[in-house]
Amino acid sequence: MPQGTSKDISQDENENQDRITKNTVEKEKAASHNTKTQSEKPFDLEAEIGKLKIAIPLSELAKHDIYKQQIKKSL
């Protein structure tokens, strides 16, 4: 089997190193993405609406039977 020249061997080593570097970068990106998706919580619209501070006059709420009953219970 003919031996490759040192230039061919050097080129092969460079190509292998490039592949290893690319694989390492891809693995690090994947690990970073997995960490982000695990630590992020899904968006909860109801919880976000609950954080809003909106002033509503009690008289406006009392116009609706559902709220009127709750107001009476709390008073």
Q: What is the pLDDT of residue 1?
A: 47
Q: Please, what is the end-to-end C-alpha distance for the chain in angstroms?
A: 96
For the chain of 75 residues, list the mean pLDDT of each consecutive stretch of 10: 58 76 76 63 83 86 88 84
Q: What is the pLDDT of residue 34?
A: 57
Whole-angstrom CA distances from 15 to 6, 18, 22, 24, 63 are 14, 5, 11, 14, 76
Whole-angstrom CA distances from 21 to 5, 15, 32 are 24, 10, 16
